[in-house]
Structure 1
Amino acid sequence: MPILSTAPGSDGPRRSCGSFVGAGGQQVRVLITGIGGQDGFYLSLALLRRGHRVFGIHRRDPPGEPLATLLPAGGDLQLLTGDVTDRAFLRRVVGEAAPEQIYNLAAQSRVGQSFAMAERTFEVNALAPLYLLEIIRELNPRIRFFQACSAEVFGECPRAPQDESTPFAPVSPYAIAKASAYWLVNSYRRSSGLFACNAILYNHESPLRDESFLSGKVVRSLARILVGQQQTLALGNLEARRDWGFAGDYVEAMVAMMAQAEPDDYVIASGEGHSVGEFVEEAFGYARLDWRKHVVIDEQLLRASEAHVLLGNAGRARARLGWQPRLGFQALVRLMVDSAIEQVKAATLSAAASREH
């Protein structure tokens, strides 16, 4: 049975919401891998608002929130459950969906976990983009391809700020796999003439970040401290500096990259550096708490190898794409804190109501 069809009487992988056409009158067929993640949600939202037809590969069926909220939103969205390391599955999807653009967002994206699951990290982060590039070359070389890279490729002690000319020096299996995918994109662009581009993405966050990411851990722990469910927050290196931006802004850069006449690679960053300690201080200060009374340093959370200062120079993106971030560091942290407090309070009320019944 074709992957994009639904068996009679089944609520299988196809979920269509009715087509609409963007202001320009042209609907583009787009395939997004990793659509169930934070970036997949914001990118889908951006593309649906433009009137494009979106096919998305995700790991879970049914989809989790908030992806499910896009299904009745008035756009054309079809979800497929599958494994991006299954080359035959990817080939069938590309053949049947016939996308004009592919955004590869699928990744094992936890840097710390990549040391414990190096093989799986390479399968998802390096082999999957290789499969997609080969499938594009074989089936339709006109398909445009976007690869989500990471600032972690710059490594432990890069010069700051980093731009597209900064040498790579990855220090984790995650970063090494991302660097491999980056060079694969460059190779296929040169050797096969594909429209293939990389975005070297710096830390980009949103209320959708879960607690496996530092930003999500901080704001959700803070919310639980406020309601008395938690007393302390264990963290590692507070001195590590990162360039934090809003995921909703960063997906706009992705769309702009795919609309260019020629493919290229771009650093996507805010250009502002803040330490982990500053993130914590801003979050707790906004909630009127003294972070020093709640944060404890856990040596088990310290990495032997870590990129300490990641600060991006997005000058190329500003000049060529006309892109710049809209949401600043303070506003981003406060947005995440407000959302986390709302979620924890709602969960607390729901749990209390369940106990009463």
Structure 2
Amino acid sequence: MKRAIIFGVSGQDGAFLAQLLLGKNYRVIGVSRTMRTDSFHNLELLNIRNKIELVSSSIHDFRSVFTIMNRYKPDEVYNLAGQSSVARSFDEPFETFESISVANLNLLEVIRILKLPVRLYNAGSGDCFGNMDGQTACEETPFRPQSPYGVAKSAAYFQVANYRKAYDIFACTGILFNHESYLRPEEFVTQKIVKAACLIAKGQADELLLGNISIERDWGWAPEYVTAMWMMLQTKKADDYIIATGITLSLKEFIAVVFDYLDLNWKKYVKTDDQFLRPTDIQTIRANPGKAEKKLNWKARYNGYDVARMMVDAELKYQKK
């Protein structure tokens, strides 16, 4: 039985990944730094909380990471921890950098010092690329991050590349573009839209306030993306991959799909508010996931239009419970 440690197990990706690994007969150790206060809602929703060994630890703390890695000596480690909101990163740049970049360095250093034959997955982000003036990003595209979150993810990416080359550590970064699901918290705009639209449809709300709705993103379905994470660690040679659908749509289009699915005219309810504008923002994101399709045999089945409808279906389902 393979052993896998998931840092950030209580988040969207951590929960779906834990479910995937359990289905593959892994022994899953889930790490959370807020064991006493975390409700583990996502794990409960997937009915897997009692199937995971939950451990309290802070990935920010080197000694804590060292202790856990030395105790369990895992075959695979997935670093999905860290502050994950781009908007929030402007308000909390220090916490964002520490929770993403410094935490990732802790893992790499522990693996180097203990000389563990472990395979490491690092959660990268399409936000590393920044604005590309409509061009499509591939793995060779230079990074030009435009948020503290993007800067932190870029630093972690280069740390992985450096340790892989310098110390022959099997470490990969998945450069994941936007991926959503019903496990997303409401601070993410897709979930905010879906929850508000469902409330409006039930007569329990009458408006939705948003920032810039002209931005364009490549939105995918999170359960598919965690499969790509696992596949990266099954290859013979460690490498980095863009994970995306290859299909870009605007936030306005996403809104329209959600409201149309509920037989609503979004223009009657959606209003823009400057308080939701970011200091800097990426206007258009386009991604080429061709390398993952060619080398991993991974390709997204669902695009942003599908995601919008599936999130509505899930919201209506769980609202009834």
3-state SS, counterpart of residue 196 of structure 1: strand
- How do 1:289-308 and structure 2 match up within 5 A? 289-308=264-283
Which residue of structure 2 lines up, in the alignment, with residue 38 of structure 1?
Answer: 12
3-state SS, counterpart of residue 41 of structure 2: coil
- The CA deviation at 1:210 is 1.4
Match for residue 43 of structure 2 among 67, 74, 78:
67
2-side partners of 1:93 and 1:230: how far apart?
46
Q: Which amino acid aligns with 2:13?
A: D
Kept in 2, the 8 Å contact 1:224–1:344? The answer is no
Q: Which amino acid aligns with 1:309?
A: T
Runs of 5+ in structure 1 lacking a partner?
Answer: 1-26, 347-357
3-state SS, counterpart of residue 284 of structure 2: coil
Match for residue 231 of structure 1 among 188, 206, 209:
206
- The CA deviation at 1:301 is 1.1
- The CA deviation at 1:173 is 0.7
- How do 1:169-184 and structure 2 match up within 5 A? 169-184=144-159
Kept in 1, the 8 Å contact 2:176–2:242? The answer is yes
- The CA deviation at 1:159 is 4.8
- The CA deviation at 1:304 is 2.8
- The CA deviation at 1:345 is 4.1
Which residue of structure 2 lines up, in the alignment, with residue 55 of structure 1?
Answer: 29
Say if 1:315 and 1:139 are closer, same or farther in 2 by CA, change over 3 A: same
- How do 1:82-161 and structure 2 match up within 5 A? 82-161=57-136
Kept in 1, the 8 Å contact 2:245–2:302? The answer is no
1:63-110 deviations in whole A, cap 9, x for unaligned?
Answer: 4223132034xx5x2011222111111111111111011100002011
2-side partners of 1:60 and 1:229: how far apart?
34
3-state SS, counterpart of residue 51 of structure 1: coil
Kept in 2, the 8 Å contact 1:156–1:305? The answer is no
Match for residue 343 of structure 1 among 296, 307, 318:
318
1-side partners of 2:133 and 2:9: how far apart?
31
3-state SS, counterpart of residue 231 of structure 1: coil
1:286-329 deviations in whole A, cap 9, x for unaligned?
Answer: 00000000000011212231111111101100000000012233
- The CA deviation at 1:337 is 0.6
Match for residue 228 of structure 2 among 249, 253, 257:
253
2-side partners of 1:176 and 1:71: how far apart?
33
Q: Which amino acid aligns with 2:81?
A: A
1:183-215 deviations in whole A, cap 9, x for unaligned?
Answer: 000000010010011000000001111111001
2-side partners of 1:156 and 1:186: how far apart?
23
Which residue of structure 2 lines up, in the alignment, with residue 241 of structure 1?
Answer: 216
3-state SS, counterpart of residue 66 of structure 1: helix
Whichever of the two has the greater Rg, that structure is 1
Q: Which amino acid aligns with 1:67?
A: L
Q: Which amino acid aligns with 1:180?
A: A
2-side partners of 1:80 and 1:175: how far apart?
28
Which residue of structure 2 lines up, in the alignment, with residue 328 of structure 1?
Answer: 303
Kept in 1, the 8 Å contact 2:128–2:154? The answer is yes
Q: Which amino acid aligns with 1:200?
A: I
- The CA deviation at 1:141 is 3.7
3-state SS, counterpart of residue 95 of structure 1: helix
1-side partners of 2:154 and 2:143: how far apart?
8
